[in-house]
Structure 1
């Protein structure tokens, strides 16, 4: 797994190492489903396109919309097995978690990772959702953010792929940096295990070994 604070981060070579030369990438953008389609398209055309970024690096990306598989985890498993990496974008982690539950992605990704047949990667919400609990992240994301077709109940448990919480955008030049500071304070005060990530940082999980990929802070 490769869990980044912001976009691909500063250690994308380590992500591609996990793929062992393979190239097929499914981009999961369901954390952004609360944003209207035309606004998302304009953003991708004018500011940032994960498709273009990954393609420029030699990958073969395409979007994987979990909404297409709500209530049909069998079809989703067949689709997931066509990819070497799922790359999960940022946005609202609680909406993303709903999409993963309603499609059956949560159970499937745990099994596929156990088989070592896929790589999980993501940034911001895509990294946070991999943790054991989403409590405390409500200081950064609205748990009640919804979109059409989503169940309203809030899921507080994450995927449980790592045992500690993750706070992205910590002390970074990002609009959520102040909220990240509050989330980190929450975890400290409650003595809960967590890891902060500055933009550029990533957490690498390989063969059960967890590493923090972080460049030294420059004065």
Structure 2
């Protein structure tokens, strides 16, 4: 599996071009599954999910020109709700996941997302998926791939406690760097967070993505980012 780990989604031409390169064909020829699960842990989660699925992103809290990952011109796409999968036979959904070109994993709460990835069985399936498939993460959807997220990002806490996540990449991610709507996400706070992490970290703004193919990391950015090694 290939990874495109973003802070703010497919927010500029450089990130979109990287996605097309990873897919190996135009978006209009590709299928996708959208995973909104992480948003359920947010107070406005149901409303946000409905708006993102419908494509209604022209008004706040979405920024001007924001396009939902669902509405990028896919040949076909569906919704995969992880919280519903633990009671469904794997045969009913595993093959659909294996055959899709891209998994679009929405933002929200990274630990809630990680919990349901594990409970649903998707976490176990991810390492077995075809190399050609592209995992596209947005914020929490990107952070969950790290070994851990750090206590600063712990809001919803899993029954087992802690801040550990899936560890499918060997670095951590601090998203939404210098976002004007998130004043605590300044560079000084991001560096303080990174200094407390036991692995390298990428501090990325909403115009930046991290591409990982066969363990090779490449940063795609039209904005600001920093790699921090503790």
TM-score class, shorter: 0.7 to 0.9
Q: Give CA-to-partner distance per residue, 1:83-108, whole Å, 9 cap, x none.
A: 11001011011110111001111111
1:30 positional shift: 0.3
> What is the root-mean-square deviation in Å for CA atoms of aligned residues?
2.6
Q: Give CA-to-partner distance per residue, 1:39-97, whole Å, 9 cap, x none.
A: 64257535466265323xx4422211112211544433222123110010110111101
1:206-217 matched pairs, under 5 angstroms: 206-215=213-222
1:140 paired with 2:153, answer yes
What's the counterpart of residue 126 of structure 1? 141
What's the counterpart of residue 110 of structure 1? 127
Structure 1, unmatched stretches of 5+, are 145-150
Structure 2, unmatched stretches of 5+, are 225-230
In 2: Cα distance, 1:27 partner to 1:89 partner: 7
Q: Give CA-to-partner distance per residue, 1:149-178, whole Å, 9 cap, x none.
A: xx7334632221210111101123342653
Judge conservation of contact 1:140–1:176 (CA < 8 Å) in 2. Answer: no
Length-normalised TM-score, structure 1 = 0.80
Count of aligned positions: 205
1:194 positional shift: 0.6
1:201 positional shift: 0.1
Q: Give CA-to-partner distance per residue, 1:189-218, whole Å, 9 cap, x none.
A: 45641111111100011233210112365x
1:122 positional shift: 0.8
In 1: Cα distance, 2:187 partner to 2:110 partner: 14
1:109-188 matched pairs, under 5 angstroms: 109-112=126-129, 115-134=130-149, 136=150, 138-144=151-157, 152-154=159-161, 156-175=163-182, 177-178=184-185, 182-188=189-195
Length-normalised TM-score, structure 2 = 0.77
Judge conservation of contact 1:167–1:180 (CA < 8 Å) in 2. Answer: no
Judge conservation of contact 1:25–1:84 (CA < 8 Å) in 2. Answer: yes
